[in-house]
Amino acid sequence: MAKRKMILDLDTGIDDALAIAYAVGAPDVDLIGIISSYGNVVVPQAADNSLRILELLGATDVPVFLGEPHSSTTEHFDVMAISQQIHGKNGIGEVDLPAPKRAVETQSGVDFLIDAVHQYGADLTLVPTGPLTNLAAALKKAPDIATTIGNVTLMGGALTVPGNVSHFAEANINQDAEAANDVFTSDLNLTMVGLDVTLRTLLTKHETQQWRDLKTTAGAKFADIVDYYIAAYEVTSPDLHGCALHDPLAVGVALDPSFVTTLDLNMFVEAEGVDYGRTIGDPARLNDPTNVTVALTVDKDRYLKTFMTYLTTLFKKN
């Protein structure tokens, strides 16, 4: 049986790097490309980080594409100070990785996504872990992909817990609430892996020490990157006692939905006012067939065991 195909849409910071490692290390998926977005870093930096991580992992066959450089309603993007505090100015914990030998692709990330959906259809899974600008742009350019793509599992939003950039809004959705609303109210079948579950799924220095003990380059570099992330969380979220596995959890759920319990719901995203970026049930579609599956709880122990198995096995080789 052929492996399912996966595209990651990343603003490659630290947890995005872990998402790449999960997708490369998982035995049941073929990572066919990465689209770069903005958020933790600007788009060219995200692309460069993705290429460096792929090279570190020995996955130089995976192409990287540039996505949209800013939100659908602005003309420029600047990285927030809090993002630099959490991910480092270079996005990967100020860890220096060798310059990649592979260049960024010349085709746009939006066109790559559209072409891939047309080629693979139901066999394709998209995992956006940054703002939804690229996906919204692809839907606008080729509306048919909404009913053709196999699965979209996104990291973003919050339903049962407060946001992390405002009382209402999670960071990825807040970057471009208008685009997010276009996605949530489209014909796409979505799975939302939000703060409801990602804040329950934590990594500590106990795990990064296991990577150091491998005595490999990839193990040591990823330990350095994630220890930076853990130190940032000690300042911003000391009550968690670890760092949240936001983006790699979305990849995990895309491959194994049984990691989470869910609620089927029609949703919209508030795109104005004090609750800008809020992901909430749509009162105008309460009785309609639903298109969003929201993750509510997570089997964090089974997920972390799977996460560590995939990444540790991968790091042993590199």
Active site residues per annotation: 11
Written as one string, the DSSP assignment of 180-205 is: HHHHHTSS--EEEE-HHHHTT-EE-H
The strand pairing partners of 35, in sequence order, are 9, 65
Distance CA(32)–CA(152), nearest Å, equals 15
Q: Residue 301, class by beta-carbon neighbours within 10 Å (0-12 exposed, 13-18 middle, 19+ buried)? A: exposed
Distance CA(277)–CA(292), nearest Å, equals 16
Q: CB of 292 within 8 A of CB of 267? A: yes
The one-letter amino acid code at 286 reads L
Distance CA(59)–CA(179), nearest Å, equals 31
Distance CA(8)–CA(6), nearest Å, equals 7
Count Cβ atoms below 10 Å from residue 140 Cβ, excluding itself. 13
Count Cβ atoms below 10 Å from residue 43 Cβ, excluding itself. 25
Alpha-helical (H) ranges within 200-298 are 205-212, 217-236, 246-255
Distance CA(253)–CA(298), nearest Å, equals 10
Nearest 10 degrees: CA dihedral of 255, 224, 232, 279? Answer: -20
The kind and range of the H/E element at 85 are helix 81-87
Q: CB of 86 within 8 A of CB of 171? A: no
> Which residues lie below 8 Å from residue 70, measured CB to CB, with a gap of 6+?
38, 76, 77, 133
